[in-house]
Amino acid sequence: MTTPLLSIKNLRVKFRLDKHNSFEALKGISFNVMPNQTVALVGESGSGKSVASLAVLGLLPKENATVDKASSIEFEGKNLLTFSNAQKRALRGSEISMIFQEPMSSLNPVFTVGFQIEEVLKEHKGLSGKAARDRAIALLTEVGIPEPAIKIDSFPHQMSGGQQQRVMIAMAIACEPKLLIADEPTTALDVTIQKQILDLIAALQKKHNMAVLFITHDLAVVGDIADHVVVMRNGEIREQGAAIDVFSTPKDDYTRALLACRPVVDSRPKRLPVIDDFMAGRADAMRLEQRSRGVKDSDPVVLEVKGLCKDFVSREGLFGKRVFHAATDVSFKLRKGKTLGLVGESGSGKTTVGLTIMKLHDATKGEAWFEGKNIFAMSEKEFLPYKKRIQIIFQNPYASLNPRFTVGQIICEPMIIHCIGANAEARAKMAFELLAKVGLPEMSFYKYPHEFSGGQRQRIAIARCLTMKPDILICDESVSALDVSVQAQVLNLLQDLQDEFGMSYIFISHDLAVVKYMSDEVMVMSEGNVVEQGDSDALYAAPKAAYTRKLLDSIPRGLVATVG
Amino acid sequence: MTTAAINPNNPALGIERSPGLWSLAWKRLKADRIAVVSMVIVIAFLLLSFAAFFGLIAKDWNKEIAINYAPPTLFKDSHKPAADLRPGAATDAGPAVDGAAAKPEFINDRDPLREVIIELKAQLGQSTGAADSGIKIVDPLADVLTELRKQLGRTGDGAANVVEAKRLDYLPFGADKWGRDVLAKVIQGSETSILVGFAAAIVATILGTVLGAFAGYYGGKTDDALNWFYSIFSSIPYILLVLAIAAVLKQKGVVTVVLILGLTGWTSIFRLVRAEYLKHKARDYVRAANAIGASNLRRMFVHIFPNISHVVLVQLSLHVVLFIKSEVILSFLGFGVPVDTVSWGSMLNESQNELILGYWWQLAAATVFMAVLVTAFSLFTDALRDALDPKLK
Amino acid sequence: MLAYIIRRLWQILPTMAGVILLIFFLFNVVGGDPAYLLAGKISNPEQIANIRKQLGIDEPYWMQLLIFVKQVVTFDFGASWSTNEVVSQIFATRLPASLMIGIPLLILETIIAVCIALAVAYVRGSFTDRAAMVTCTVAQSVSILVYIIVFQYVLAYKFGWFPVQGWGNGFLENLFKFAALPILIALVVSLAPNIRLYRTFLLDEVNQDYVRTARAKGLSENRVMFVHVLRNASIPIITNLMIQLPGLLVGLFLIERFFSVPGIGREVILAVERSDFPVIKAVTVYVALATMLANLAADLLYKAVDPRVELK
Tell me which of A129, A146, A176 is where a domain ends. Answer: A176
Per-residue confidence at C35, pLDDT binned at 50, 70, 90? low
Closest CA–CA distance from residue A427 to any residue of chain B (Å): 7
Contacts of A203 (CB under 8 A, 6+ apart): none
Mean pLDDT over residues C158-178, rounded? Answer: 77
Question: Residue B170 has what pLDDT?
Answer: 64
| Last residue of one domain, picked from the residues A123, A153, A176 | A176
Q: Nearest Cα to A400, choosing from B280, B213, B216? A: B280
Q: Please state, in angstroms and rounded to a whole number, the distance separating the CA atoms of residues B45 and B51.
A: 10
Confidence band, pLDDT 50/70/90 cuts, at residue B136: very low
Q: Kindly state the percentage of chain C with pLDDT values over 70.
A: 94
Q: Are the CB atoms for C107 and C189 separated by under 8 Å?
A: no
Is there a single domain that holds both residue A315 and residue A390?
yes
- In this predicted structure, what is the pLDDT of residue C37? 63
How far does B70 lie from chain C, in Å, by closest CA? Answer: 21
Mean pLDDT, residues A162-177 taken together: 92
- Rounded Cα distance between B243 and A77, Å, is 73
Q: List the chains bordering chain B where 3 or more Cβ pairs fall under 8 Å.
A: A, C
pLDDT of B124 = 45
Residues A125, A231, single domain; the answer is no
- One DSSP character per residue, A259-306 reads HHSS--TT--BSS---HHHHHHT-HHHHHH-B------TTSPEEEEEE
Give yes or no for C6 touching A (CB within 8 A): yes
Mean predicted lDDT score pLDDT of chain C: 83
pLDDT band at B9 (very low <50, low <70, confident <90, very high): very low
Distance of CA B277 to the CA centre of its chain: 30
C131: burial class by Cβ within 10 Å (0-12, 13-18, 19+)?
exposed
By the CB < 8 Å criterion, does C14 face chain B? yes
Q: Give Cα separations from A564 to A70, A169, A261, A366, B45 (angstroms).
A: 43, 34, 10, 42, 73
Q: Is the pLDDT of residue A175 over 80?
A: yes
* Adjacency order of strands within the sheet including A390-393: A390-393, A472-476, A504-509, A339-343, A521-526, A529-535
Nearest residue to A100 via CA among B388, C78, B58, C211: C211
Element (DSSP H or E) covering residue B93: helix B82-102
- Cβ count near A456 (within 10 Å): 22
Give the whole-number percent of chain A exceeding pLDDT 70.
Answer: 97
| Facing A446 at nearest CB: one of B17, B285, B288 | B17
Q: Is it the case that residue A212 has pLDDT exceeding 90? A: yes
* pLDDT band for position A128 (cuts 50, 70, 90): confident
- DSSP string for residues in C143-165: -HHHHHHHHIIIIIIIS-SS-SS
CB A265 within 8 A of CB A540: yes
Q: Which residue of A has its CA nearest to B280?
A: A399
Determine the pLDDT at residue A160. 87
DSSP B296-319: HHIIIIIIIHHHHHHHHHHHHHHH
Judge whether residue C31 has pLDDT over 50: yes
- C243: contact with B, CB 8 A cutoff: no
Indicate the SS3 state at residue B31: helix
Closest CA to C178 of C158, C159, C157, C164: C164
| φ/ψ (deg, to 5) at A65 | -105, 135
Q: Residue B78's pLDDT band (boundaries 50, 70, 90)? A: very low
Q: Is the pLDDT of residue A167 over 90?
A: yes
Q: What is the pLDDT of residue B137?
A: 44
Distances (CA, A) of B125 to B98, B261, B297, B353, C80: 12, 45, 73, 17, 42
Looking at CA atoms only, how far is residue A131 from chain B in angstroms? 43
Backbone angles phi, psi at A478, to 5 degrees: -65, -20
Whether A266 maps to a domain, the answer reads: no
Q: Clarify whether residues A172 and A183 are in a common domain.
A: no
CA–CA separation, A336 and B93 (whole Å): 97
Q: Assess whether A16 and A154 both reside in one domain.
A: no
Pairwise pLDDT comparison (B166 vs B221), residue with the higher score: B221
| CATH label of the domain that carries residue A345 | 3.40.50.300
Mean pLDDT of A359-374: 89
Q: Is B128 within 8 Å of chain A by CB?
A: no
**C51: contact with B, CB 8 A cutoff:** no
Phi, psi at B381, each rounded to 5°: -60, -45
- A264 pLDDT tier (thresholds 50, 70, 90): confident
> With an 8 Å Cβ cutoff, is C305 touching chain A?
yes
Instruction: Flag whether residue C101 sits within 8 Å of chain B, measured between CB atoms.
Output: no
State whether residue B23 sits within 8 Å of chain A by CB.
no
With respect to residue A427, please indicate whether it lies within any of the assigned structural domains: yes
Q: What is the pLDDT of residues C238-289, one digit of tens each?
A: 888 888 888 777 768 888 888 888 888 888 888 888 778 888 888 888 888 8
With CA atoms as reference, report the closest residue to B318 among B273, B385, B369, B366. Answer: B385
Q: Which of A83-97, A484-498, C105-119, C152-166 has the lowest mean pLDDT?
A: C152-166
Question: pLDDT tens digits, residue range A410-438?
Answer: 999 999 988 888 888 899 999 999 999 89
Q: Give the burial string for B254-285 (b: 16+ CB within 10 Å, else e).
A: bebbbbbbbbbbbbbbbbbbbebbeebbebbb
- CA C146 to chain CA mean position, Å: 20
Query: Residue B108: what pLDDT?
Result: 42
Bridge partner list, B232: none
Using the CB atoms, write b or e for C152-185: b if 16+ within 10 Å. Answer: bbebbbeebebbbbbbbeeeeebbebbbbbbbbb
ipTM score over 0.90, yes or no: no
The whole-angstrom separation of Cα A406 and Cα B5 is 12
Out of C218, C305, C306, the one facing A93 most closely (by C-beta) is C218
pLDDT band at C63 (very low <50, low <70, confident <90, very high): confident
Is C302's pLDDT higher than 60? yes
Please list, in sequence order, all residues whose beta carbon lies within 8 angstroms of the beta carbon of residue C92, skipping any fewer than 6 positions away. Answer: none
Alpha helices in C41-162 (DSSP H): 45-55, 61-74, 87-122, 127-141, 144-151
Distances (CA, A) of B281 to A402, B275, B284, B307, C167: 12, 10, 8, 11, 56
**Cβ atoms within 10 Å of A362's Cβ, excluding its own:** 9
CA B212 to chain centre: 25
Would you state the pLDDT for residue B142?
52
For residue A182, name the pLDDT band (cuts at 50, 70, 90).
Answer: very high
Domain edge (last residue) among A149, A176, A203? A176
Residue C46, chain B, CB below 8 Å: the answer is no
Q: Give me the residues of C, 204-263, that contact A with CB < 8 A.
A: 208-210, 212-221, 228, 231-232, 235
**pTM of the predicted structure, to 2 decimals:** 0.80
User: What's the confidence (pLDDT) of residue B109?
Assistant: 43
The stretches of C123-260 forming alpha helices (DSSP H) are 127-141, 144-151, 171-173, 180-206, 209-216, 221-223, 230-244, 247-250, 253-258
Distance, in Å, from the CA atom of C127 to the CA atom of C148, rounded to the nearest integer, reads 31
Test the C interface: residue of A108, A121, A324 with most C CBs within 10 Å = A108
Segment B136-145 shows an average pLDDT of 48
DSSP structure string for B115-173: HHHHHHHHHTT-HHHHHHHHHHHH-TTHHHHHHHHHHTTIIIIIHHH--B-PPPS-BTT
pLDDT confidence tier of residue B90, bands split at 50, 70 and 90: very low
Q: Look at residue A342 in the predicted model and tell me its pLDDT.
A: 93
State yes or no: pLDDT of A507 exceeds 90.
yes
Chains that touch A (3 or more CB pairs under 8 A): B, C
How many interchain CB pairs under 8 A, B with C?
Answer: 155
Q: Are A151 and A113 in contact (CB under 8 A)?
A: yes
Q: What is the pLDDT of residue A139?
A: 93
What does the pLDDT read at residue A73? Answer: 92
Percent of chain C surpassing pLDDT 90? 7
**Mean pLDDT of the B326-355 span:** 82
User: Is B9 an interface residue toward A (CB < 8 Å)?
Assistant: no
Q: How far A395 CA sits from the closest chain B CA (Å)? A: 8
Q: Is A522 helix (H, G, I), strand (E, B) or coil?
A: strand
- Name the closest residue on chain C to residue B379, using Cα atoms: C137
**Chains A and B: how many Cβ contacts under 8 Å?**
106
Residue A265 inside a domain? The answer is no
To the nearest 10°, report the CA torsion of B204, B206, B207, B210: 150
pLDDT tier, C80 (very low <50, low <70, confident <90, very high otherwise): confident
Where does the pLDDT of residue B201 fall: very low under 50, low under 70, confident under 90, or very high at 90 and above? very high
With a cut of 50, say whether residue A21 has pLDDT above it: yes
Report which listed range, B203-217, B235-249, B355-369, C2-16, is most confident.
B203-217
Residue of A401, A446, A450, A462 to mutate for B, most B C-beta atoms under 10 A: A446
State whether A123 and A164 are in the same domain.
Answer: yes
Which candidate from A59, A90, A105 shows the least CB-CB separation from C215?
Answer: A59
Residue A270 maps to a domain: no
pLDDT of residue B34: 83
Q: Is A321 helix (H, G, I), strand (E, B) or coil?
A: strand
Contact list, B347 vs chain C (CB under 8 Å): none
What is the pLDDT averaged over residues B21-33? Answer: 81
Q: Spell out which residues of chain C touch residue B321, defining contact as CB-CB under 8 Å.
A: 141
Note whether residue A190 is domain-resident. Answer: yes
- B329 with C253: CB under 8 angstroms? no
Instruction: Find how far residue B342's CA is from the centre of its chain.
Output: 12
* Domain contains A527: yes
Integer angstrom CA distances of residue A272 from A473, A561, C131? 21, 18, 58
pLDDT digit string, tens, across residues A31-43: 999 999 999 999 8
Nearest CA in chain A to C7: A318
Q: What is the pLDDT of residues B273-319, one digit of tens each?
A: 999 999 888 888 998 898 888 889 999 999 999 888 888 988 998 89
∠ CA B80-B83-B87 to the nearest 5 degrees? 100
| 8 A C-beta contact, residue C4 and residue C312 | yes
Q: Determine contact: B284 vs chain A, CB below 8 A.
A: yes
Residues A94, A175 contacting (CB under 8 angstroms): yes
What value does the mean pLDDT take over residues A44-58? 87
CB within 8 Å of chain B, chain C residues 122-141: 134, 137-138, 140-141
H or E segment and range at residue A343: strand A339-343
| Distances A558 to A228, A232, A388, C174, C186 between C-alpha atoms, Å | 13, 19, 42, 79, 68
Chain-chain contact of B289 with A396 (C-beta, under 8 angstroms)? no
At a CB cut-off of 8 Å and minimum separation 6, what does B168 contact? B65, B66, B181
The predicted pLDDT at position A120 comes to 92
Identify the pLDDT of residue B349. Answer: 82
In a domain, A516, yes or no: yes
DSSP state letter for A147: S
Question: For residue C74, how many other CB atoms are within 10 A of its CB?
Answer: 9
pLDDT for the residue C164 = 75
Q: Does residue A282 surpass a pLDDT of 80? A: no
**Nearest CA-CA partner of A213 in A24, A77, A75, A84:** A75
Residue B92 or residue A149, greater confidence? A149
B41 CA to chain A: closest CA distance, Å? 25
pLDDT at A268 over 90: no
- Counted domains in chain A: 3
Q: Break chain B into its structural domains and give their ranges.
A: 21-57+183-392, 73-171
Which of A400, A404, A409 faces B307 most closely, judged by CB atoms? A404
Minimum distance, in Å, between the CA of residue C301 and any CA atom of chain A:
14
Work out the percent of chain A whose per-residue pLDDT is above 90. Answer: 36
Q: List the CATH code of the domain at B21-57+183-392.
A: 1.10.3720.10
Q: What's the number of CA atoms in the CB half-sphere (13 Å) around residue C194?
A: 25
Q: Do A400 and B289 touch (CB under 8 A)?
A: no
> Which burial class, exposed, middle or buried, applies to C86 when counting CB atoms under 10 A from its CB (0-12, 13-18, 19+)?
middle
Domain containing residue A39: 1-71+179-251
Tell me if B6 and A412 make a contact (CB, 8 A cut-off).
no
Confidence of residue B66 (pLDDT cuts 50, 70, 90): low
The answer as to whether A290 is a domain residue is no
Q: Provide CB contacts within 8 A for A222, sequence distance 6+.
A: A40, A42, A214, A216, A229, A243, A558
Closest-CA residue to A396 (of B336, B288, C98, C287): B288
